């Protein structure tokens, strides 16, 4: 295949680059693809099962890097006003305060430091006292850019609400899908998307990315968007089930996935572009949020709707009896 | 495919009006000030963007509960004494109840009926339920048990929070902070948000002080050291001085001569002779009378000024103070004298407040976040717009116009609601741009499919729109459910994300169903195309 290829006929000129049409319109996915996606289910199902087990194992062995939202404690982002921050000196100063382990970490530039003080024994008031101590110890050498103190009661509640929120969202969406489709579709979408969440949690465990309230927001958004994708394909499957009465189920699913493939890819490119901009330019404050979302929406979401959510319908008994119809004809 | 003139106009008008609400955000405050209030509404920047302090306080509900039970004990003792029902000393607190043993020669039914008079029907919204404030039961064997009901305690906590909010407002306003917001959260919590405040330590100290002020006599029957080593007399207690005062112990009578409630004013000032900072105060009539009598009878004795169980100072009474005015000195700085005056003017909190969550963003980080958020939005939007144009050409341009109007409408709705924009909220807008074009992609891909299926140009476009819309609705509702859940569980910045995401979905569905279609319809009318240019 040549690098550049020009096609001229009576409808106009078309230019291809590496086989992809770039003029007059960018066409990432050629028209009328005929990929046999369903055949991959013998690979994708065991692979997903294995990855899910790995993610769950990681969650229990490695755990998540819970931020202060969920375990309580103090987080301070400071910027040195006297040139690059002297981490070693700050570490000695802060560890001498008797506040237990104080973690310091360079944050973005060499003047910025992130300080974490573990939750103090002695209830709510002790947390506030810890901040005062740190502020006194560091004095005016630093500029306090961010200070967050979460007491034991609030952190317990936030964790409970976060978990409850995820469960509620899953149940609410399940009910909606059940209402709009047949129950097999609702169940299939749910299995696929719980699988997304499990893999994303595995990703957060491996990378030890901060797990805080914004992570819950990221997980819920991943849930929403993965479903968005799945629903688009399911809509087409439902339409085709009515239209083609004599098509075998794997063929019908393949045709549905293929005809929505171009849309899936284009949408994922636009979402990825938006997320990429946030990841590169949005700053540290939303970095873990966008990184998680990038993984969940872009990597896992697309794969799931094509390779898990669609073929699982075969196992859930959608369109059983179709194969025999095809062999008759 | 085509709209009647009326529906076309109403679609455009809706979009225009919603977008117009975003307008005040771009105007200087002075210009907007003269407008009616509904037109002035604008987006509020979250504390993570403009910098400031967010502090969540919790009311000490245990103390409220205990106080309620202690006051019940006092009431029962009074009833017992007045009606000669038995010995007031048998009235004891046991757990959450007050128990009383009826005297031997008293009819238990009579005692019961007298004590039942203490129980009031609950007022307010609870009055309809017939709930009463106290349960009075005969526990048998001459024992009567009185329990404060749970609704009565909750009602008291609610009152305590209301009072606290009022007092906090006074204190915060007196501190000269700009646009503080003080709100109740849940049953027993108060959220204080102050934009622009980078170090809330002073605020926390000021709000967290109960500020219970009492004037009491110093007990000279033994020295404080002696009292510490042995036992203080029953009617006295050992209290320590404030840090500024020296922190030494005092033996102070428990009996209160005058308390903070009797103050009508407190102002910082300077002592005429020593020019030290002091606090001048005035009593109301009854306070002035009581203080006057006490000082007349006790010239030469020391009395202590006690704030939250700390002795501020213990001056000697040189002459009777009958004018109802006086001054407190206690090695104050100008600042601490001013703070004490603020606390005294605002009054005492009904219960202790503890900060349980504190989130502070400095002005530097806030500004950085705005800059970064803007940059990310521009780059993200530009990339999506270019990609859409490259993929769909003219129709990509239509999609881009729809997305631009979509974003303007998001800001319009946010302004209408006076919603708070946070950094995750900005991320929500950027994400909406990526997602909003999805509706156009769904429509366009469907059109291409329909055309390949052999339909004529206009037929294909029409079918593309009709078939894609059901899918657009289905796929957006699932995301909307996630956003709604996030709104209810989230606080602060995360809630800001849920808000923009949710509004973004609504405006996306609106533009997909109406605007894009309208633009394409007018284009078809105008150009009468032979082929679909996508």
Q: Which residue of B has its CA nearest to A146?
A: B361
Contact: B479, A227; criterion CB under 8 Å: yes
Please count the residue pairs, one from chain A and one from chain B, whose beta carbons lie less than 8 angstroms apart. 241
State the Cα–Cα distance between residues B93 and B76, nearest whole angstrom.
11
Q: Which residue of A has its CA nearest to B379?
A: A277
What value of ipTM does the predicted structure carry? 0.90
State the Cα–Cα distance between residues A263 and B292, nearest whole angstrom.
87
Instruction: Render pLDDT for A48-90 as a digit per residue (tens, 0 to 9).
Output: 999 999 999 999 999 999 989 999 999 999 999 888 888 888 8
Q: How far is CA B331 from CA A45, B270, B441, in A?
A: 77, 11, 73
Number of helices (H) and strands (E) in chain A: give both, helices first: 13, 9
Contact: B427, A289; criterion CB under 8 Å: yes
Using CB atoms, pick whichever of B198, B430, B479 lies closest to residue A277: B430
Q: How far is CA B185 from CA A212, B192, B197, B266, in A?
A: 21, 10, 21, 31
Q: Which residues of chain B make contact with A22, given a CB cutoff of 8 A?
A: 390
Distance from B398 to chain A by nearest Cα, in Å? 15
Distance from B478 to chain A by nearest Cα, in Å? 6
Report the phi/psi class of residue B88: left, alpha or beta, with left for phi > 0 and alpha for psi in -120 to 50: alpha
Answer whether residue B373 shows pLDDT above 50.
yes
Q: Which residues of chain A make contact with B359, given a CB cutoff of 8 A?
A: 147-149
Q: For each of chain A's 329 residues, which pLDDT tens digit applies? A: 578 888 887 777 888 888 788 888 888 888 778 889 888 899 999 999 999 999 999 999 999 999 899 999 999 999 998 888 888 888 998 988 888 888 898 887 889 999 999 999 888 888 888 888 898 888 888 889 999 999 998 999 988 988 898 888 889 888 988 988 889 999 999 899 889 999 999 999 999 998 988 888 889 888 888 888 888 999 999 999 998 888 888 899 999 999 999 998 898 899 999 999 999 998 888 888 899 999 988 778 788 888 999 999 988 988 776 654 544 33
State the Cα–Cα distance between residues A247 and B228, nearest whole angstrom.
94
Structure tokens at A110: 């060499």
Residues 6 or more apart whose CB falls under 8 angstroms from that of A298 comprise: A268, A271, A272, A275
Q: Residue B3, SS3? A: coil
Using CB atoms, pick whichever of A154, A180, A263 lies closest to residue B474: A180
State the Cα–Cα distance between residues B270 and B328, nearest whole angstrom.
10
**What backbone torsions phi and psi does residue B182 show, to the nearest 5 degrees?**
-125, 115
State the Cα–Cα distance between residues B93 and B100, nearest whole angstrom.
9
* Terminal alpha carbon distance of chain B: 18
Instruction: Render pLDDT for B109-154 as a digit per residue (tens, 0 to 9).
Output: 888 888 888 888 776 655 666 778 888 888 888 888 999 988 888 8
Contacts 24+ apart (CB under 8 A), A165-170: A165/A216, A165/A220, A165/B485, A165/B486, A165/B488, A165/B489, A165/B490, A166/A197, A166/A216, A166/A219, A166/A220, A166/A223, A168/B485, A168/B489, A169/A220, A169/A223, A169/A224, A169/B481, A169/B482, A169/B485, A169/B486, A170/A194, A170/A223
Distance from A262 to chain B by nearest Cα, in Å? 7
pLDDT of B124: 60
Contact: B481, A172; criterion CB under 8 Å: yes
Q: Name the least confident of A18-22, B77-81, B237-241, B296-300.
A: A18-22
Contact: A221, B433; criterion CB under 8 Å: no
Q: Residue B313, SS3? A: strand
Helices (H), B194-267: 201-208, 224-229
Q: Which residue of B has its CA nearest to A28?
A: B391
Q: Which residues of chain B make contact with A150, given a CB cutoff of 8 A?
A: 357-358
Q: Which residues of chain B make contact with A178, given a CB cutoff of 8 A?
A: none
Distance from A51 to chain B by nearest Cα, in Å? 25
Q: How far is CA A278 from CA A114, A169, B372, in A?
A: 21, 25, 9
Task: Give percent above pLDDT 90 in chain B.
Answer: 25
């Amino acid at each position: 295949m040549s690098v550049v290829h020009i096609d001229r006929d009576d409808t106009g000129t078309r230019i291809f680059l590496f086989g992809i049409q770039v003029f007059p319109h960018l066409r990432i996915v050629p028209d009328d693809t005929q990929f046999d996606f369903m055949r991959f289910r013998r690979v994708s199902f065991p692979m997903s099962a294995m990855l899910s087990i790995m993610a769950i194992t990681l969650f229990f062995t490695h755990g998540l890097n819970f931020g202060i939202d969920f375990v309580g404690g103090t987080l301070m982002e400071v910027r040195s006003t006297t040139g690059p921050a002297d981490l070693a000196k700050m570490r000695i100063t802060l560890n001498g305060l008797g506040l237990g382990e104080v973690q310091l970490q360079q944050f973005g530039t060499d003047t910025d430091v992130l300080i974490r003080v573990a939750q103090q024994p002695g209830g709510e008031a002790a947390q506030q006292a810890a901040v005062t101590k740190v502020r006194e110890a560091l004095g005016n050498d630093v500029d306090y850019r961010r200070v967050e103190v979460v007491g034991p009661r609030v952190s317990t509640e936030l964790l409970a609400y976060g978990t409850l929120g995820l469960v509620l969202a899953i149940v609410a969406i399940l009910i909606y899908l059940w209402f709009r489709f047949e129950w097999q579709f609702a169940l299939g979408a749910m299995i696929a998307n719980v699988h997304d969440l499990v893999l994303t949690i595995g990703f957060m465990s491996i990378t030890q990315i901060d797990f805080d309230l914004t992570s819950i927001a990221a997980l819920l958004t991943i849930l929403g968007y993965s479903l968005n994708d799945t629903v688009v394909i399911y809509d087409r499957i439902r339409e085709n089930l009515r239209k083609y009465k004599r098509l075998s189920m794997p063929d019908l699913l393949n045709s549905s996935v293929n005809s929505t493939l171009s849309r899936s890819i284009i949408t994922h490119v636009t979402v990825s572009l938006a997320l990429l901009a946030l990841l590169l330019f949005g700053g540290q404050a939303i970095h873990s949020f966008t990184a998680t979302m990038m993984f969940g929406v872009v990597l896992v979401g697309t794969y799931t709707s094509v390779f898990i959510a669609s073929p699982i319908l075969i196992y859930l008994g959608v369109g059983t009896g179709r194969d025999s119809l095809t062999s008759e004809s | 495919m085509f709209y009647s003139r009326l529906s076309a106009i109403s679609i455009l008008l809706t979009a225009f009006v919603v977008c117009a609400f975003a307008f005040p955000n771009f105007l200087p405050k002075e210009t907007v000030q003269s407008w009616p209030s509904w037109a002035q509404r604008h987006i509020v920047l979250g504390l993570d963007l403009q910098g400031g302090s967010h502090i969540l306080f919790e009311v000490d509900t245990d103390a409220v509960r205990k106080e309620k039970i202690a006051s019940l004990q006092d009431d029962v003792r009074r009833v017992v004494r007045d009606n000669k029902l038995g010995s007031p000393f048998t009235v004891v607190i046991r757990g959450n109840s007050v128990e009383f043993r009826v005297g031997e020669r008293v009819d238990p039914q009579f005692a019961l009926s007298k004590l039942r008079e203490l129980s009031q029907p609950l007022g307010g919204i609870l009055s309809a339920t017939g709930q009463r404030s106290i349960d009075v039961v005969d526990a048998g064997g001459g024992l009567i048990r009185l329990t404060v009901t749970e609704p009565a305690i909750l009602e008291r906590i609610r009152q305590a929070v209301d009072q606290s909010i009022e007092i906090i407002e006074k204190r915060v306003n007196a501190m000269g902070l700009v646009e503080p917001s003080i709100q109740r959260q849940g049953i027993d919590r108060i959220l204080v948000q102050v934009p622009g405040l980078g170090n809330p330590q002073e605020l926390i100290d000021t709000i967290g002080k109960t500020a219970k002020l009492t004037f009491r006599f110093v007990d000279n029957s033994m020295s404080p050291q002696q009292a510490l080593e042995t036992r203080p007399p029953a009617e006295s207690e050992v209290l320590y001085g404030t840090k500024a005062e020296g922190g030494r112990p005092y033996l102070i009578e428990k009996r209160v001569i005058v308390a903070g409630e009797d103050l009508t004013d407190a102002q910082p000032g300077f002592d005429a002779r020593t020019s030290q900072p002091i606090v001048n105060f005035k009593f109301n009539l009854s306070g002035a009378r009581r203080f006057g009598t006490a000082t007349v009878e006790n010239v030469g004795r020391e009395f202590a000024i006690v704030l939250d169980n700390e002795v501020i100072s213990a001056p000697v009474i040189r002459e009777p103070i009958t004018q109802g005015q006086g001054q407190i000195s206690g090695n104050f700085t100008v600042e601490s004298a001013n703070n004490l005056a603020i606390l005294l003017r605002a009054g005492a909190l009904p219960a202790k407040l503890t900060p349980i969550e504190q989130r502070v963003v400095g002005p530097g980080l806030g500004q950085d976040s705005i800059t970064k958020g803007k940059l990310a939005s521009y780059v993200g939007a530009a990339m999506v717009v270019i990609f859409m144009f490259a993929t769909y050409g003219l129709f990509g341009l239509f999609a881009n116009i729809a997305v631009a109007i979509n974003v303007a409408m998001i800001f319009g709705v946010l302004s209408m609601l006076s919603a708070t924009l946070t950094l995750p909220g900005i991320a929500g807008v950027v994400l909406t741009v990526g997602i909003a074009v999805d509706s156009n992609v769904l429509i366009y891909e469907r059109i291409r499919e329909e055309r390949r299926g052999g339909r004529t140009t206009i037929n294909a476009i029409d079918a593309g729109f009709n078939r894609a819309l059901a899918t657009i609705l289905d796929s957006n509702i699932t995301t909307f459910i996630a956003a709604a859940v996030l709104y209810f569980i989230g606080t602060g910045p995360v809630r800001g994300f849920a808000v923009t995401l949710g509004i973004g979905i609504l405006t996306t569905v609106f533009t997909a169903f109406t605007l894009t279609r309208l633009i394409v319809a007018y284009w078809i009318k105008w150009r009468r195309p032979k082929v679909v240019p996508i």
